Structure 1
Amino acid sequence: MRSEHLQPAEKAALERLISRAQGNTGQSRSVADFLLAWWNSAECGKYDLTTAWGVDDDIVDDMCVVFRLASRSHSYPDTLGYGSQFEAIVREWRPELIRG
């Protein structure tokens, strides 16, 4: 599945979360943790659902949409065309995982 096969609401929610994850706030960290758990939980870490308690409702709504997307698509974000964006999130929030 490629990004052009995403439903418009899924694409919009995912792109908003990617943008949020590129910030430098506590909420940005929570969003990054959520997204990276989808991409590679073995290396990037799991996501504790109670972390969402500190996130605004609109962000949680987007997380729910993306959770459904991940379940429906049976795909990782890089196979949906978002590999470079997720690599940027890793560089920001998991620099120790960068192989140089």
Structure 2
Amino acid sequence: MTPAPFSRDAAQRALDRLIDLARSDTGQARRAANFLLAWWNGEDCGHFPIADLFGVDPTIATHITTIIGFLGQHEGAIYPDGFGRGPEMAELVGRWRNFDSD
């Protein structure tokens, strides 16, 4: 049985793949990180320009839209730590965002 395209399982798989990508050092990795960090905390980590979808391959765009579809169907807010990925997100903040520690 194939899971629904916007199921929690599909969103989990998409999140895992995007985190793996965001840990690398490519233009697509930067765009994946921008999406993940905007979802994690857009106010502090920056927002995701929708035009960034033009700079990723179709598989990566599908991962992003799978998460967006899941979030749109989910009642209430859910963030990556709701998938148990808080430590990975903190790692991505350190990798992609340079915050002063005053």
Report TM bin, short chain: 0.7 to 0.9
> Over residues 39-83 of structure 1, what are the superposed CA-to-partner deviations in whole Å (9 max), with x where a residue is unaligned?
000110011100110100000000001112333262121233110
> 2:18·2:32 contact (CA, 8 Å) conserved in 1?
yes
> 1:91·1:98 contact (CA, 8 Å) conserved in 2?
no
Query: Which residue does the alignment assign to 1:42?
Result: 43
Give the deviation of 1:98 after TM superposition: 6.5
Query: Which residue does the alignment assign to 1:29?
Result: 30
- Distance in 1 between the 2:14 and 2:100 partners? 27
| TM-score normalized with structure 1 length | 0.84
The farther-off stretch of 79-88 and 40-49 is 79-88
Aligned-partner residue type, residue 40 of structure 1 = N
Aligned-partner residue type, residue 45 of structure 2 = C
- Distance in 2 between the 1:57 and 1:49 partners? 14
- Distance in 2 between the 1:97 and 1:69 partners? 30
Query: Which residue does the alignment assign to 1:84?
Result: 87
**Percent of aligned pairs sharing the same letter:** 35
Query: Which residue does the alignment assign to 2:3?
Result: none
Higher alpha-carbon Rg: 2
- Distance in 2 between the 1:68 and 1:38 partners? 13
> 2:12·2:83 contact (CA, 8 Å) conserved in 1?
no
Give the deviation of 1:85 after TM superposition: 0.6
Give the deviation of 1:97 after TM superposition: 2.4
Gapped regions of structure 2 (runs ≥ 5): 1-6
Aligned length: 94
Gapped regions of structure 1 (runs ≥ 5): 1-5
> Over residues 18-49 of structure 1, what are the superposed CA-to-partner deviations in whole Å (9 max), with x where a residue is unaligned?
10110100000000000000000011001110
